[in-house]
Amino acid sequence: MKKRILVITTTYPRWKNDTDPPFVFELCKRLTDDFEIHVLTPCYPGSVENEVMDGVKVRRFRYFLRKYEKLAGSIGILPTLNNNKLYYFVIPFFLFFSLVSLFKAIRDVKPDLIHAHWTIPLGIFAAFAKTITHVPYVVTAHGADVFGLRGAFWTFMRRYVMRNASAVTAVSNALKDSLKMCHSLSDVKVVPMGVDSSLFASSSRITNQENRSDPTPTHRILYIGRLTEKKGVIYLIRAMRKIVEQKQNITLSIVGSGELENLLRDEVKKLSLSQYVNFCGAVTNHELPSLYAQHEMFVAPSIKAKGGDTEGFGLTLVEANMGGCLVIASQVGGIVDIIENGETGLLVREKDPADIAEKVIYAMDNPDEAKRIASKGQEMAKARFDWFVISQRYASILHDACN
């Protein structure tokens, strides 16, 4: 009989073809061969409370008036709070019903193990539930739960969570180092989230750069992600101003949504970049491979935000690598686990539009070198970050924790 795993997470597809990051779902569905997987996640307007998605049993808990159940989902909890302070009034209800729903799920599912994604708040609830129900748990740190929540209180809570966990995983070495520095943990396993490499066929790439008959082909830059402070998109827009002063045959596609969208649109207008920058909005996850295939470069200008939050890993960089793009990214957080400068991508200083512009222009002027780096990045991503590899590592950790 398969062991039963109860996965608790605040990020999960709300419906089919959602625009929210699907990495927890992608992991869960790949674990169903080894485990009976149940997921507990918050409701969101338009989502159903109980369903089965690719063999994963999903239950969503209510925590407020339905139209205001937007604390989790879309742009994420911390950005939602920063964007609308009124949601702080929702937090007590969210936390209370999260905990109540967890105990109900434990009663109904009778899991052998809980897998809590994010140390705070769900790791805290898993640790508390263990003291009452004796159900062991594994906790995974993703980034904002470590980088974005600092201070003595949060350090104490993370220490409590991790000391009582059967296993602790982090999605990057930067997270592991931060956790070990704060908590002196000797056994934090670095296991990132993955990407399905089969979706990114190298033969599907479409770029005008390959059209040698065009003396001035249009170069295409892509950004995909939430439009939040830590993503640093405003620095990419400012870099575009410097780029077009030298190269006019270039465009930037910004894919995603978030609380800074209006500010970024205003910046584009202020810098007279409307003919070069296109806001595409959020797209469904199954549309992403074709977007990568249509662009030569992917730029991730991430920064360390005011509260300390930064990239825990950077899964879109892996997708871009698998899609054959040349990846240009800031040297912050977990990004350095993916990009080796000059080998699998190009690293830039954070908050430095001039450095971004310099690297983009270098790639435009040296297409053979750019193609070499992109090809090596693609090989690396498929070897290290394919879901088959990643899911096997998680399955091993969960099996050990169950036993």
- For residue 72, the model assigns a pLDDT of 84
- For residue 209, the model assigns a pLDDT of 47
233: which residues sit within 8 A by CB, 6+ positions away? 223, 225, 227, 254, 260, 264, 301
DSSP character for 122? I
The answer to whether the CB of 138 falls within 8 A of the CB of 113 is: yes
pLDDT by 10-residue block (mean), the chain, 403 residues: 96 88 95 97 94 96 93 76 86 96 98 97 97 97 89 90 94 91 75 93 54 66 95 98 96 94 97 97 92 96 91 95 97 96 98 98 97 97 96 97 92
- For residue 5, the model assigns a pLDDT of 98
- For residue 3, the model assigns a pLDDT of 97
- For residue 80, the model assigns a pLDDT of 79
State the pTM of this model. Answer: 0.91
- For residue 79, the model assigns a pLDDT of 75
Strand pairing of 50-53 and 56-61? antiparallel
- For residue 214, the model assigns a pLDDT of 53
- CA separation for the pair 230, 104 (Å, rounded): 36
Tokens of 252: 């930037």
| One-letter amino acid of 6 | L
- For residue 185, the model assigns a pLDDT of 59
Over its C-alpha atoms, the chain yields an Rg (Å, rounded) of: 21
- For residue 352, the model assigns a pLDDT of 98
Domains of the chain, start order: 3-194+386-402 (3.40.50.2000), 197-384 (3.40.50.2000)
| One-letter amino acid of 87 | Y
- For residue 22, the model assigns a pLDDT of 92
Q: 3-class DSSP state for residue 286?
A: helix
The answer to whether the CB of 309 falls within 8 A of the CB of 147 is: yes
Q: 3-class DSSP state for residue 299?
A: strand
Q: 3-class DSSP state for residue 101?
A: helix
